[in-house]
């Protein structure tokens, strides 16, 4: 939405109001769904992928006993 408002560059409050209304209409349905899932259901994104163990924090090998 901010992208469309920046493209219009309204100078007055009435122009800003019209710009906001038109920019809401330009947002796609998929983007609305993704926004509300992220805002209100953050557990939806958790644990979808396996946690990758990074080599930076790997356990060191023991060469001597």
Mean pLDDT of 25-47: 78
Selection from 21, 36, 61 nearest residue 1 by Cα:
21
Write down the domain spans for the chain. Answer: 2-57
Mean pLDDT of 15-30: 86
Mean pLDDT of 31-57: 72
Q: How far apart are CA 30 and CA 57, in angstroms?
A: 38
Mean pLDDT of 8-22: 87
The pLDDT value recorded for residue 52 is 64
* Model pTM above 0.75: no
Burial of 16 (0-12, 13-18, 19+ CB in 10 A): middle
Note whether 19 and 10 are within 8 A (CB).
yes
């Amino acid at each position: 939405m901010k992208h469309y408002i920046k493209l219009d560059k309204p100078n007055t409050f009435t122009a800003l109001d019209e710009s906001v209304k038109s920019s809401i209409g330009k947002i796609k349905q998929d983007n609305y769904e993704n926004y509300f899932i992220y805002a209100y259901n953050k557990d939806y994104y958790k644990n979808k992928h396996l946690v990758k163990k990074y080599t930076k924090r790997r356990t060191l090998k023991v060469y001597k006993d």
